Amino acid sequence: MKKIISFCFVLVVISSGCKKESTKQPSLINTNWTLSYIQDTKSSAITNYPANQPKKIIIEFSGTSDVISFTGICNTGTGKYSSSATGRLKITDLGTTKIACPDVEWESYTVQSLQEAYSYSINGNNLVISSNGDYNLYFIKN
């Protein structure tokens, strides 16, 4: 009997030390995502976000009201979204302010691609939004 209890104790100690560390991926919702680069949907060419640009383009998907928020270089905006656990994504009614500033074309690339979005995927701290527009968008979790 003592051998069985000792054996069970050893098994418990060994199994508790072998737990896999869980790495929880960020959620699409309630996470700030910063634009890292864009990929041309026709040629697959990648263009990195300007390193010398002090302001970043950030999006966030609200979990309570299905609203996407957009903070750009000098403009902000909101729209509606719907998504599925299988990676489907649709963004509608995305409106932004219209202030002109340097590198504002990055805002245009982002807004146009978000409006043409059809899917998303999250891998680690990276979010990819695939678009029927000119560019796929690559974000990193803040």
What was the pLDDT predicted at 128? Answer: 98
Q: Residue 77: is its pLDDT beyond 50?
A: yes
What was the pLDDT predicted at 64? Answer: 86
What was the pLDDT predicted at 102? Answer: 84
Dump pLDDT digits (tens) for 3-36.
555 444 444 444 445 444 445 667 899 999 999 9
> How far is the C-alpha of 110 from the C-alpha of 136, rounded, in Å?
9
CB 38 within 8 A of CB 109: yes
> How far is the C-alpha of 103 from the C-alpha of 138, rounded, in Å?
18
What percent of the chain is modeled with pLDDT above 90? 71
What percent of the chain is modeled with pLDDT above 70? 82
Domain ranges of the chain: 27-141
What was the pLDDT predicted at 24? Answer: 63
What was the pLDDT predicted at 23? Answer: 55
Tokens coding 30? 């309630």
Q: CATH for 27-141?
A: 2.40.128.270
